Amino acid sequence: MAMMYGGMLYFPLKVNLFEEIAVELVEARFGLKGTAAVMKLLCKIHKENGYYLKWNAEQCTLFTNKAGKDINEQEMQGIVDILVEKAFFDPKTYKEQGVLTSTEIQKIWLEATKRRKRDLTTLPYLLVETEEDKPDKDETCTQKRENCTQDADIFPENAYNSKQSKVEESKAKESKALPPLTPPGESGGAQGNPDLDIPGYAYNRNTHNLECLMLNLEKLYITDREEIRKILKLSDYGRLGNYVWKIFNGTNWSKVSKGGYIISVLAREKRSTGS
């Protein structure tokens, strides 16, 4: 039987999926049948519509029936509730549309089906920016406090830096909580913030984006100097490719203690990778 237009025959799976907070909580409450249900849910999403699944009482009944005798409808709905609450699925889309999806699920689908002929503007429930929606690169992710954002396919560490001078001027007026980002040896910089002790290599824009890191912290109102110092050190001062950019990209900040959460996740990632 031919696969439906929106579906996929297979999809990539992160090796740390079962270490995500939402999945760990599901396993803690429901055991291995809970993690199995999560996997079956992801398979159903990618198999049928590709990147989303309508979820209601009827769908819960049908899904539970196929999931096996070890799990009942109440438990299945409890699993979905945890996944939504912990932002494994997008909470707003579920609340307003009754749909299970996420930016990560959508990126996987868009990448896997990019060679298909399709009109992306007609696709429902999209949370990510498509090629048709993207602005010119010069206008994307400029170094401003209110606009340190990202393309749909990249993380904030690759933010475009063409307007640095204007941003530094506005930052000086807006906040004194975060350090000036001038390399050592010039006015300001780490020499003016000995407690942060920012090394010179962090100002190399080929390997780091220290400024965008600090703007993200400022945007999240993380002003505690000790928290900033720990985040800087754990992220290797905004090194490109560091796990901190995934945290900024995929976290529902209304649900967590921001500074402490970033520190705990970075520390756990550092332990797991041994780096």
Q: Is residue 175's pLDDT more than 80?
A: no
Calculate mean pLDDT across residues 175-191. 48
Q: What is the pTM of this model?
A: 0.48
Predicted confidence (pLDDT) per residue in 45-100, tens digit: 999 999 999 999 999 999 999 888 889 999 999 999 999 999 999 999 999 999 99
**Distances from the Cα of 206 to the Cαs of 13, 148, 157, 193, in angstroms?**
30, 18, 11, 23
Question: Beta strand pairing status for 99-100 and 53-54?
Answer: antiparallel
Q: Is 53 helix (H, G, I), strand (E, B) or coil?
A: strand
**pLDDT for res 77:** 97
Mean pLDDT of the chain: 78
Top mean-pLDDT range of 45-59, 144-158, 195-209? 45-59
Q: Is residue 171's pLDDT more than 70?
A: no
* Helices of type H across the chain: 21-30, 32-48, 57-67, 73-85, 91-97, 103-112, 164-174, 210-219, 225-234, 244-250, 258-273
**pLDDT for res 4:** 44
Q: Is residue 108's pLDDT more than 80?
A: yes
**pLDDT for res 160:** 43
Length of the chain (residues): 275
Q: CA–CA separation, 139 vs 163, rounded Å?
A: 10
Q: Are 188 and 182 in contact (CB under 8 A)?
A: yes
**pLDDT for res 217:** 87
Predicted confidence (pLDDT) per residue in 6-43, tens digit: 788 888 888 999 999 999 999 999 999 999 999 999 99
Q: CA–CA separation, 172 vs 191, rounded Å?
A: 17
Q: CA–CA separation, 103 vs 127, rounded Å?
A: 6
Q: Count CB neighbours of 143 within 10 A.
A: 24
**pLDDT for res 142:** 46
